[in-house]
Amino acid sequence: MPLTALETRLSQAAGMRYGLQMTKTPPPGDRIAKVLARAGVASRREAERMIEAGRVNVNGKTIDSPALNVTSKDKIIVDGKPVSEPEPSRLWLYHKPPGLVTTTRDEKGRATIFDNLPEDMPRVMSVGRLDLNSEGLLLLTNDGGIKRKLELPATGWLRKYRVRVNGRPKDEDFAPLRKGLVIEGERFQPMTVTLDRQQGANAWLTIGLREGKNREIRRAMEDIGFAVNRLLRVSYGPFQLGNLKPGEVEEIRRRVMRDQLGLDAEPDAHAKRPARPQRKRPGIGKKPRK
């Protein structure tokens, strides 16, 4: 039999008295950090930091906690600018040249990859990073959810690098890398290492890893006595650098992206785009994108 209003109140009071947790209907919508990430404003963690810094306003009120659900009816403003409805998820390949920092802002004033992108690119985030002197494939996306999915260790996608080291190594020198290293208390998972060829005073290697720790390959090589003087990422999971030239950007077709990432189909606002991905070159003489 259904409970009367009085019985319901008594039941709730008893639950509070004895510390019982009553089942509550979750509020409608999604957490604010997830919505900001989906709209391409920032990753979830970055969005949470923006909220704590007082940079996010919802329905005219500045919020200081990410513990808030919002719907499409809520008006969200970040840094004084309205947040628009999220566009369909998109993914790009980018050939990062050496000498650029993989960050939106650099405290030392160095050029970033975002300064170098074509002017018609939307606001995007990088999936992981390549350090200042590293080059090669970076994935870019307008969707913070995709960024998070691809960066999670559980994804475990193999990343392959072409690496040039100074010296004349032998195949057995790489046994510690294949087994897994511990450097300054930090454990590195086993890598695949192939000695490709000797070229003068340098040797070329192909290295595969499934993590993305800071300067992982350089630190591992230094630990076994070799200095890396060139590092080029050639693939990230199923996505390949191919013939993409430094500074070039190429969009992944949405169907390919969905298939590779296991995403559900979504309304395609760009359905009239050509079936083949278009390659974009940085404009010569154009002002860099801010």
Distance from C-alpha of 188 to C-alpha of 116, rounded to nearest angstrom: 32
Buried-state track 229-263, b at ≥16 Cβ within 10 A, e below 16 = ebbbbebbbebebeebeebbbbbbebeebbeebee
> Coil, strand or helix: which one is 24?
coil
Q: Which of 257, 272, 22 is nearest to 140 (CA)?
A: 257
Measured in degrees and rounded to the nearest 5, phi and psi for residue 151 equal -90, -15
Let me know if 137 is exposed, middle or buried by CB neighbors in 10 A (0-12, 13-18, 19+): buried
Cβ pair 153, 211 in contact under 8 A: yes
Collapse the DSSP code of 58 into the 3-class scheme (helix H, G, I; strand E, B; otherwise coil) and give the result: strand
172 — phi, psi (to 5°)? Answer: -70, -15
- Name the nearest CA neighbour of 175 among 187, 157, 158, 193: 193
Which of 131, 173, 223, 264 is an active site residue?
Answer: 131
Return the number of other C-beta atoms located less than 10 Å from residue 144's C-beta. 26
Picking from 35, 28, 27, the residue whose alpha carbon sits closest to that of residue 75 is: 35
Is 131 part of the annotated catalytic residue set? yes
The residues annotated as belonging to the active site are: 131
